[in-house]
Amino acid sequence: MPESGLNRNFITFEGIDFSGKSTQAVRLYNRLAKKCSCLLLRDPGATRISERIRSILLDNSHTEMSYWTELLLYEAARAQMVEETIVPALEEGRIVICDRFYDSTTAYQGYGRGLDLQFVGNANQIGSCRLTPAKTFLFDVEPGVVRARKEKSNRTEDRLEAEGMEFLERVRAGYQSIAKENPDRFYLLDGGRSVLELEDTIWNIITNYLF
């Protein structure tokens, strides 16, 4: 279990698919990497074992997957990433940027799938090995924006992305609740703004926080 204070350099990006998380996570990483040692990871993923769990989770043919199995696989992938990659990097003083973390599980499996939020919270404590992000950027976007971005891109949908608009609305509302409950940690951003505007906003927040 991480010591208190270890999370100071741990930053996460959250939001529904096509909200712009990965675009901004890469931009922040590229700018930060010029000033200090940092690491960009994706959850689920980042380690050999976690990437294998990711492919099970996102496989479109796994239509029979129980919501509880889904929850536990996300936590299993995360625990491996925290212990194998994140904690060692934080202990070396590196900055860790993670594209999704346990707030995704609260939003998707809790609010989206409708699993008991208390159970999901307990599972998140195990999966994260009690590591909490210091700062989290939430990209809030209208479903219409998501639809337009989806149509423009040629990315094939994974098992979670293929869920309908009502599911996405529940996840989005869930994220908004989580952000309200954690005002010290969350920055709620309008994901409909331009890539450059968002990049600058995030950069200003992070440089004020870190340096």
Ligand X SMILES: Nc1ncnc2c1ncn2[C@@H]1O[C@H](COP(=O)(O)OP(=O)(O)O)[C@@H](O)[C@H]1O
Interface residues toward ligand X, by CB under 6 A: 15, 17-23, 149, 153, 193-195, 198
Minimum CB–partner distance for residue 148 and ligand X (Å): 9
CA dist list (Å): 138 to 56, 120, 174, 198? 26, 19, 11, 11
Q: Which of 6, 22, 182, 192 lies at the binding interface for Mg ion (CB under 5 A)?
A: 22
The pair of three-digit structure tokens given for residue 50, joined into one six-digit string: 């976690």
* Closest separation in Å from C-beta 142 to Mg ion: 18
Minimum Å gap between C-beta 178 and Mg ion is 18
**Of 8 and 193, which has the nearer Cβ to ligand X?**
193
Nearer to ligand X, 2 or 15 (CB): 15
DSSP type of residue 195: H
Least CB distance to Mg ion at residue 153 (A): 11
Give the nearer residue to ligand X in terms of CB position, either 31 or 149: 149
In order, the DSSP letters of 76-137 are HHHHHHIIIIIHHHHHTT-EEEEES-HHHHIIIIIIIT---HHHHHHHHHHHTTT---SEEE
For Mg ion, the binding residues in 123-142 under the rule CB under 5 A are none
Q: State yes or no: residue 23 binds Mg ion (CB under 5 A).
A: no
Say if residue 44 is preceded by a cis peptide, omega within 30 of 0: yes
Cα-trace Rg, the chain: 16
Residues within the interface to Mg ion (CB under 5 A): 22
